[in-house]
Structure 1
Amino acid sequence: AVIGSSVVAVELAQAFARLGSQVTVLARSTLFFREDPAIGAAVTDAFRAEGIAVLEHTQASQVAYQDGEFVLTTAQGELRADKLLIATGRSPNTRSLNLEAAGVTVNPQGAIVVDDGLRTSAPDIYAAGDCTDQPQFVYVAAAGGTRAAVNMTGGEAALDLTAMPAVVFTDPQVATVGL
């Protein structure tokens, strides 16, 4: 079973299914609920055609491990699975770093706040990637890291995310740009 409908959840759900696992996805809303509804519907249909069960508007209110299997309690009843992936999103693991002592501002989720030059609120401290308040995609991290390196060595480069592409590696693939 996979709890979540994040990019990681849907990519791994399909990969596990194609490797021979019987997969059920529990989605609190629908797949790709932030996108045009047709996108989520197309991927959901493709998943179901492959034998992946997609339970929309479903949350596990309780998870237990009994007799060698996970038991997920939902409003629709119990679901049993021998393996469980919880992929409900990520948050930066910065709390133990005491960044405030260095003058670095973090948001309530623990993400380091940066400007378009990847500068933090502290002089000469830059941040890029999943520890920041930027979208958590590898290409955003790579672009941010490159620009941070340019800026910390005296250059001036900005990370412009106004037309940021996003790709989800499912089949069918999902790609968006801009709004």
Structure 2
Amino acid sequence: MTFSWTPHRFSGGALALDVANSVVLRGDPERRIDRFADPVVMDAFPAGAGRHGAERALFGSLEPVREDARAGLFALREAIDRHFRAEVLGQGTPALLAGLLEAIAATLRRSGTRPQALDTATARSALLLLAQPEPERLKICPNCHWLFLDRSRNRSRAWCDMAVCGNRAKASRHYHRNREEKGP
């Protein structure tokens, strides 16, 4: 199966969230897909982020993660997801924050001389998310459960991507409404 990093896959609004969202159906162990499990797909992520990512101007042209640093990126990705998902759900703890900060520090120590490497940029993006003045803008898509930043003026964005998840939700409601009207 061919996979490509399309604009929808960068709808998180921050590089750190897009990296966390590289795991599809995270909460469903039966259907869970880790897009970074394939090294070729993982190595293509920086180019996709450079084309479609919200922070592309901030981080510029990204480089793939070195093979010996991939485990560190996986640890950082999981710490990002655990911390920010818990924060959105109102279940954040100092231990989750400490875990994220430790993963960020380990990444920055390891990648020191490679500021454009994906792992370094992801760590910097996570730090920016931690410092954001409006943490309530961070949300979880009710359709795909990806993390995203709501940058809408009135803070009313409901889905990570209206063209994908929003349309799916609306189509599902329409289908169920019509089915109820017709009866059994």
Structure in which a larger fraction of residues adopt strand: 1
- TM-score, normalised with respect to structure 2: 0.31
- TM-score, normalised with respect to structure 1: 0.32
Question: Which structure: larger Rg?
Answer: 1
Structure in which a larger fraction of residues adopt helix: 2
